[in-house]
Structure 1
Amino acid sequence: MKIFSKEQIYEGDALTAKKQGITSTDLMERAGTQIFNWLHMRMQGAQVPIHVFCGIGNNGGDGLVVARHLTTHGYNVKTYIVNHSTTRSKDFLNNYERIKNTTKDWPILLNDASELPAINEKDIIVDAIFGIGLNRPVEGWIKQLFNYFRATKAFVLSIDIPSGLATDAAPIDEESVVNAGYTLSFQTPKLVFFLPETAKYTVQWEVLDIGIDPEYLYTTPTEAELIGKNEVLPLYKPREKYSHKGSFGHVLVIGGSYGKIGSVTLASQGVLAIGAGKVTAYTPKCGYIPLQVGFPEAMVLTDTDEEKITSIAFDIQPNVIAFGVGVGTDAQTIDAFEAFLKVNKTPLVIDADGINILSKKKALLKLLPENTVLTPHPKELGRLLGQWEDEFNKLKKAKAFSKKYKCIIVIKGANTITVFQDKLYVNATGNPGLATAGTGDVLTGIISGLIAQSYDPLVAAIFGVYLHGKAADLLVEDLGYQSFIASHVIEGIPLAYLDLFKQPEQPEIENADSDPKK
Structure 2
Amino acid sequence: MKIFSKEQIYEGDRLTAKKQGITSTELMERAGIQIFNWLHIRMQGAQVPIHVFCGIGNNGGDGLVVARHLITHGYNVKTYIVNCSDKRSKDFLVNYDRIKETTKEWPAMLTCKQDFPQIHKDDIIIDAIFGIGLNRPVDEWVTQLFMHFRASQAYTLSVDIPSGAFTDKITDNEDSVVWAKHTLSFQSPKLIFFLPGTSKFSLQWEVIDIGIDREFLFNTETDATLIGKHEVLPMYQSREKFSHKGTYGHALILGGSYGKIGATLLASRAALVSGAGLVTTFVPKCGYSILQTALPEAMVITDKDENLITDISFDIAPKVIGLGIGMGTAAKSATALEKFLKSNTAPLVIDADGINIISKKKTVLKLLPKQTVLTPHPKELECLIGKWKDDFDKLEKVKVFSKKYDSIIVIKGANTITVYNEKYYVNTTGNPGLATAGTGDVLTGVITGLIAQGYDPLQATLFGVYLHGKSADIAIEDLGYQSLIASHVVETLGEAYLDLFKQPEQPQVEEEQQENK
Report the TM range for the smaller structure's normalisation.
over 0.9
Q: Name the CA distance, whole Å, in 1 between partners of 2:43 and 2:124.
A: 11
Offset from partner CA, 1:368-417 (integer Å, 9 cap, x none): 00000000011100111000010000000001100000010011100000
Q: Name the CA distance, whole Å, in 1 between partners of 2:273 and 2:168.
A: 39
Residue identity opposite 1:101 in structure 2: E
SS of residue paired to 2:206: strand
1:91 to partner: Cα distance = 0.4
Q: Is the aligned partner of 1:448 residue 2:468?
A: no
Q: Name the CA distance, whole Å, in 2 between partners of 1:380 and 1:113.
A: 46
Q: Name the CA distance, whole Å, in 2 between partners of 1:492 and 1:37.
A: 38
Q: Name the CA distance, whole Å, in 1 between partners of 2:191 and 2:113.
A: 36
Q: Name the CA distance, whole Å, in 2 between partners of 1:137 and 1:332.
A: 53
- In the alignment, what sits opposite 2:130? 130
Contact kept in structure 1, 2:113 and 2:144, CA below 8 Å: no
Q: Name the CA distance, whole Å, in 2 between partners of 1:164 and 1:507.
A: 35
1:113 to partner: Cα distance = 5.7
1:514 to partner: Cα distance = 1.7
Q: Name the CA distance, whole Å, in 2 between partners of 1:495 and 1:136.
A: 48
SS of residue paired to 2:492: helix
Matches within 5 A, 1:298-309: 298-309=298-309
1:269 to partner: Cα distance = 0.3
- In the alignment, what sits opposite 2:416? 416
- In the alignment, what sits opposite 1:191? 191
Q: Name the CA distance, whole Å, in 2 between partners of 1:55 and 1:272.
A: 56
- In the alignment, what sits opposite 2:75? 75
Matches within 5 A, 1:86-101: 86-101=86-101
Offset from partner CA, 1:401-458 (integer Å, 9 cap, x none): 0000001001110000010021000000000000000000000000000000000000
- In the alignment, what sits opposite 1:487? 487
- In the alignment, what sits opposite 1:32? 32
1:512 to partner: Cα distance = 4.2
Q: Name the CA distance, whole Å, in 1 between partners of 2:448 and 2:470.
A: 18
Contact kept in structure 1, 2:34 and 2:210, CA below 8 Å: yes
Matches within 5 A, 1:227-238: 227-238=227-238
- In the alignment, what sits opposite 1:383? 383
SS of residue paired to 1:226: strand
Q: Name the CA distance, whole Å, in 2 between partners of 1:506 and 1:54.
A: 36
Contact kept in structure 2, 1:322 and 1:350, CA below 8 Å: yes
Structure 1 consecutive aligned stretches of length 4 or more whose deviation exceeds 2 Å: 508-512
Contact kept in structure 1, 2:442 and 2:486, CA below 8 Å: yes
Over the aligned positions, Cα root-mean-square deviation in angstroms equals 0.8
- In the alignment, what sits opposite 1:49? 49
Residue identity opposite 1:118 in structure 2: Q
Contact kept in structure 2, 1:267 and 1:443, CA below 8 Å: yes
Q: Is the aligned partner of 1:514 residue 2:503?
A: no
Residue identity opposite 1:36 in structure 2: F
Residue identity opposite 2:431 in structure 1: N
Contact kept in structure 2, 1:37 and 1:512, CA below 8 Å: no
1:52 to partner: Cα distance = 0.1
Identity of aligned residues (%): 70
SS of residue paired to 2:350: strand
SS of residue paired to 1:251: strand
Q: Name the CA distance, whole Å, in 1 between partners of 2:298 and 2:139.
A: 60
Offset from partner CA, 1:297-326 (integer Å, 9 cap, x none): 110000010110001000001000011000
Residue identity opposite 1:96 in structure 2: Y
- In the alignment, what sits opposite 1:254? 254
1:137 to partner: Cα distance = 1.8
Matched positions, count: 515
Q: Name the CA distance, whole Å, in 2 between partners of 1:269 and 1:475.
A: 17
Gap runs ≥5 in structure 1: none
Residue identity opposite 1:27 in structure 2: L
Residue identity opposite 2:503 in structure 1: Q
- In the alignment, what sits opposite 2:17? 17
Matches within 5 A, 1:176-325: 176-325=176-325
- In the alignment, what sits opposite 1:366? 366
Matches within 5 A, 1:320-469: 320-469=320-469
1:58 to partner: Cα distance = 0.3
- In the alignment, what sits opposite 2:151? 151
Offset from partner CA, 1:171-209 (integer Å, 9 cap, x none): 111101000000000000000000000001111000000
1:508 to partner: Cα distance = 3.2
Residue identity opposite 1:254 in structure 2: L
SS of residue paired to 1:101: helix
- In the alignment, what sits opposite 1:140? 140
1:118 to partner: Cα distance = 1.1
**What is the TM-score with the length of structure 2 in the denominator?**
0.99
Q: Name the CA distance, whole Å, in 1 between partners of 2:114 and 2:100.
A: 21
Offset from partner CA, 1:38-64 (integer Å, 9 cap, x none): 000000000000000000000000000
1:115 to partner: Cα distance = 2.6
Contact kept in structure 2, 1:33 and 1:65, CA below 8 Å: yes
- Mark the CA change 1:113 to 1:252 in structure 2 (over 3 Å): closer, same or farther: closer
SS of residue paired to 1:34: helix
